[in-house]
Structures are given as C-alpha cells and as structure tokens.
Amino acid sequence: MMVFSRKFPCEHCDKEFRKHEELMAHLQITHYKDLPYDCKVCNENFSNMEDMRTHLQRFHSYKKDRD
C-alpha cells in the first residue's frame, strides 16, 4: 500500500516539511528572524512597524484614523 504524504516546500530555499507547523517554524527561525512584523492579511514580513503600516495603507486600504 502506497501512502502519499503532502510536502510543504519553503519558497526561500529547497527544504520541504511534512507539517505546515514545521514550515512556519523554519520560516520564522531561518528567513524572518530579522523581520518581526508580519501582515495578517498577506503574511508579508517587515523589519519595523512603520514599514508594515505603510504596506497596510497602500495594499490593504488600511486607514490610519479608524473610529
């Protein structure tokens, strides 16, 4: 009996993982360690809060003065 397991490839290097959680941990530790701010809409990462705010305003119609 053949068992197919889904692989979760890293888009930044050639590593693959059996679990999505393992991929996410790899990304955070290896590729995003200097990018602590992440967009909850598209998962893009930023090195500082101001860059993330600018991204939100430009790409996700985020308004700075929300009521």
Task: Establish if 43 belongs to a structural domain.
Answer: yes
The per-residue pLDDT for range 12-50, each reduced to its tens digit, is: 999 999 999 999 889 888 887 888 898 999 989 898 999
Overall domain count for the chain: 1
Q: 3 pLDDT band (50/70/90 cuts)?
A: low
Q: Find tokens 């009521």 and name the residue.
A: 67
Domain-embedded: residue 52: yes
Question: Residue 29 domain-assigned?
Answer: no
Indicate whether 6 belongs to any domain.
no
What global pTM score does this model have?
0.51
Q: Could you tell me the residue range of the domain that residue 49 belongs to?
A: 36-67
Q: CA-CA distance, 32 to 36, in Å (whole number)?
A: 7
Q: Is residue 10 part of a domain?
A: no
Residue 23 lies in a domain: no
